[in-house]
Structure 1
Amino acid sequence: MKIIQIKRKTVVEKRYSIKMGELITHVTYIKKHILGLPVKTLYKYRKTYYGEVKDCSDCILFI
């Protein structure tokens, strides 16, 4: 078993953008795991309908 691993996971989330309103999108999280436990989120991004990759900082998590 490896001590340090980098894992990628895609989840469907509801986000809110000022320009588009409520948005349901696939968000990909890249996390660092030590001994199988998640330690830190290195990067998170989302893909648009047009295939562009954008950072999640411009959208607010919609609850």
Structure 2
Amino acid sequence: MSDLVALRAVFPVWDAVGHGTKRYPHDLDGVVLVPRDVAVPLLHNGGYVIHDRNRTVLALDDHVAGR
């Protein structure tokens, strides 16, 4: 199991998300790979959802993903 989690921003992104003193760059689709300990606060407070590599967006709450 990978220690990195793929997250997708639910808002327009510029370049990277910061957590503490580290920055994690987004790709052109707004997907960012972050360590698991960084993923938790981003999922709960930062406007991110889990990104499935099959292009399916899984959200903690359905209204976040617009379902």
Q: TM-score, normalised by structure 1?
A: 0.26
Structure showing greater radius of gyration is: 1
Higher strand fraction (1 or 2): 1
